[in-house]
Amino acid sequence: MMNATLLLTLMPAFALAADSLTYPVTRKDDSVIDDYHGTKVADPYRWLEDDNSEETKAWVKAQNEVTFGFLKAIPKREQIRERLQKAWNYERTGIPFEHGGKWFFNRNSGLQNQSVLYVADSLEAEARVLLDPNTLSKEGTTSLTETAPSEDGKWLVYGVSKAGSDWQEFRVKDIATGKDTEDLIEWVKFSGASWAKDSSGFYYSRYPKPKEGAALTEANKNQTVYFHKLGTPQSEDKLIYARPDQPDWGLHAYVTDDGHYLIYSVTHGTDPKNRFFYQDLKQADAKVVELLNDFDASYSFIENVGTTFYFHTDLKAPRYRVIAIDVMKPAKENWREIIPEGVDKLDSVSCVDGQLLCKSLKDARSAMVAYDLEGKKLRDIELPGIGSVGGFGGKRSDKITHYAFTSFTTPGAIYSYDVASGKSTLWKQPKVDFDATPYETTQVFVKSKDGTKVPMFLVHKKGLKLDGTNATLLYGYGGFDISLTPNFSIGRAIWLELGGVYALANLRGGGEYGAEWHLAGTKLRKQNVFDDFIACAEWLQKEGYTSPKKLAIMGGSNGGLLVGACMTQRPELYGAALPAVGVMDMLRFHQFTIGWAWKSDYGSSENADEFKAIYAYSPLHNLKPGTRYPATLVTTADHDDRVVPAHSFKFAARLQECHAKGDDAPPVLIRIETSAGHGAGTALTKVIEETADEWAFLWKVLGME
């Protein structure tokens, strides 16, 4: 529970005004004008795209001085930070997995910046530390990104990321001694490592070395598959597969469990549709076979039994199904349907102990069913409650698997699942300093602008008065076929303790209901996503949960775009906005790092029709001078090479320029984290500090008591 003193010593409601805030003057270059299909578009803050320039660095420093000066003056900030730190100090264990007769799992003792990798001879045996990434940097900003044990259990490939970058370095560790070999693989991004069955080396994908000084901004093209032989320099790695004729293809290769095939999932940006190729490893110099090359659907490889390959696919099934293809008879008329499309989305499928373990999403909540390899239903798998599950992975020969179960108010517990009996056994249960009993979770369905019903979860104290006075945080994403499901968050738990209401909207563009739901929020239909979110905000106010001055909206990455678009379209609807690492310049997103890969969802300003749609909602280009925008805290990081910080820099500069002036104008600020990236792998100390700043900001601008 929250400290009683904290509950009783709340400050009076703060004034909404930015007080005596003086924003840094941002230079404008009015000579930068682009022509998009006959439409002239000025870009006066283009110079902020250069993250290496001294002028940009000085601007970042000046903005942070104003922002942190404002945040540090909030009396509640330190109390919130202390409460977050206390609540976060609990042991957390990841889902264990077995390889080479050894068990591996991550564990965080509480306040460690990064979780530590452990190894044990069995789940009952005492585990020992195999790799502690906290020792790799003083600030705890080097994170573990990949862990791939060899087939014989002697070696571990591990990947590390520095300061939150997507770039990884792969190294190899002797599992018995804990010592590193001299193996070093560089310029890896969006790739795992897959060992040969004889443990002689591993397959991986990499990009060409970027130009000097351009590693965090240069477009990533021409991903290529290599084989690294253990004990040799990277310069001697064998080229396995490259497609210079298709520089935008992503090549993701891994070895099947039986060691017979090297399979390739061939992607094009972030489009769920993909191609699937394979190579026979039993034949010397076997050619790559382009089994599925029509780019007509999503194909996720599940398992092979001999020459029969099982796939999870949305081909002619927007809510997905399972099919089997005999690669010796690959013609479509020979394909077999194993599990047909159902009412709910078939979200994922794994094969363990000869069973297909299928996770479905029923209105964004998890359900599990087991089938045999011919599609006969064996049982419904009983889950601990209503929430979300992750895991159920493993090999076809495994007898047990593990999964995590979580909900909005239940931390992630880990369960062992016996495949033959269908019984679950609790393995690890975290103990968190948070009392969930005063809170309840409900789900409602909101009618959007075009009549579409949009699910929304609500989490709040029981007996909440619907009088419009509750500080409410509305969160959303709505893109890239990604599903938002119930999950536990310490930060959210403390928001609830502060008296806040939490609302999670399942918007079109996501993956909650399959391919049609996703496509309904893409390209020329992207405005549907914003309409859905706005409808949820209006519903919360109409039903008395909150009011405009008490409503905050929040989202990160594509969700940052969501917040930016909605606050520019309906600024009067919200009291606060928290856009995190958002895609704000929709005309130029494809110019940087992996941004070109998002065209499948967004379209591109290079296309005349898509430009018109994008320009109509691009947050940067829809800020209007003299408008009173909600209190805004933009957040980004200097090492974000997924959504480069220039998006947030330019948006914040333009927002400060356009925002209505006056003593009662709410603050519009940008918080720029150092030695951090897009979010994954961020040091826990930085996560706690940023969350404390966000909640303190909302505490002040929403007038919470």
Dihedral sign, Cα of residue 483, residue 486, residue 489, residue 495: positive
Tokens of 694: 């966000």
pLDDT value at residue 683: 85
| pLDDT beyond 80 at 252 | yes
Q: Which of 557, 600, 618, 648 is catalytic?
A: 557
> What is the average per-residue pLDDT within 335-350?
97
CA-closest candidate to residue 457, choices 482, 440, 469 = 440
The one-character DSSP state at 455 is: E
To the nearest whole percent, how much of the chain has pLDDT over 90? 88
pLDDT, tens only, 380-400: 999 998 899 999 999 998 999
pLDDT digits (tens, 9 = 90+) for 515-525: 999 999 999 99
Question: Is 19 a residue whose pLDDT tops 80?
Answer: no
588-621 pLDDT per residue, tens? 999 998 888 899 999 999 999 999 999 999 999 9
pLDDT digits (tens, 9 = 90+) for 200-245: 999 999 999 999 888 888 889 999 999 999 999 999 999 999 999 9
The Cα-based distances of 358 to 173, 312, 392, 401 in angstroms read: 34, 10, 9, 13
Confidence of residue 75 (pLDDT cuts 50, 70, 90): very high
Which residue out of 402, 639, 659, 678 is catalytically annotated? 678
304-341 pLDDT, tens digit each: 999 999 999 999 999 999 999 999 999 999 999 999 99
**DSSP-based three-state secondary structure for 98:** strand
* Segment 105-109 mean pLDDT: 95
pTM: predicted TM-score of the whole model, two decimal places = 0.90
Which pLDDT score, from 0 to 100, does residue 18 have? 45
In 3D space, the residue among 18, 32, 59, 34 whose CA is nearest the CA of residue 653 turns out to be 59
List C-alpha distances in Å: 431 to 288, 412, 595: 50, 10, 40
Q: Span 661-690, mean pLDDT?
A: 85
Q: Which CATH superfamily is domain 4-86+434-701 in?
A: Alpha/Beta hydrolase fold, catalytic domain (3.40.50.1820)
- As a whole number of angstroms, the distance between CA 33 and CA 60 comes to 24
Q: Is 245 exposed, middle or buried (0-12, 13-18, 19+ CB in 10 A)?
A: exposed
Q: Has residue 11 got a pLDDT over 50? A: no
Tokens of 174: 């002797």
Sign of CA dihedral 650, 655, 657, 663: negative
Angle between helices 54-72 and 684-701 (to 10 degrees): 60
pLDDT at 44: 98
Q: What is the mean pLDDT of the chain?
A: 93
Q: How confident is the model at residue 638 (pLDDT cuts 50, 70, 90)?
A: confident
Give pLDDT, residue 14: 30
Angle between helices 558-569 and 646-658 (to 10 degrees): 10
Q: How many C-beta neighbours within 10 Å does residue 219 have?
A: 17
- Helical H segments across 41-177, by residue range: 54-72, 76-88
Residues 6+ apart with CB under 8 A from 367: 344, 359, 360, 361, 380, 383
Residue 1's pLDDT band, with cuts at 50, 70 and 90, is very low
Q: Taking 80 as the threshold, does the pLDDT of residue 687 lie above it?
A: yes
Q: Given pLDDT bands bounded at 50, 70 and 90, which one contains residue 705?
A: confident
Residue 291 CB-density burial (10 A; 0-12 exposed, 13-18 middle, 19+ buried)? middle
DSSP per position, 292-315: E-S--S-EEEEEEETTEEEEEE-T
Strand (E) or helix (H) holding 612: helix 608-617
Active site residue 678: yes
Q: Give the pLDDT score at 679.
A: 59
Q: Is 80 exceeded by the pLDDT of residue 70?
A: yes
Range from 8-22, 35-49, 334-348, 349-363 carrying the lowest mean pLDDT: 8-22
User: What is the pLDDT at residue 205?
Assistant: 97
Specify the DSSP element, H or E, that contains 613. Answer: helix 608-617
Do 579 and 632 form a contact (C-beta atoms < 8 A)?
A: yes
Instruction: Look at residue 162 and tell me whether its pLDDT is greater than 90.
Output: no
Q: How far apart are CA 498 and CA 494, in angstroms?
A: 6
What's the pLDDT at 646? Answer: 94
Provide the pLDDT confidence category of residue 7 given band limits of 50, 70 and 90: very low
Q: What is the pLDDT of residue 361?
A: 97
Domain extents in the chain: 4-86+434-701, 345-431
- Residue 573's alpha-carbon distances to 138, 578, 624, in angstroms, are 44, 14, 16
The verdict on whether 557 is a catalytic residue reads yes
What average pLDDT does the segment 493-500 reach? 98
In this model, does residue 270 exceed pLDDT 90?
A: no
What's residue 418's pLDDT? 97
- 277 neighbors 268 (Cβ within 8 angstroms): no
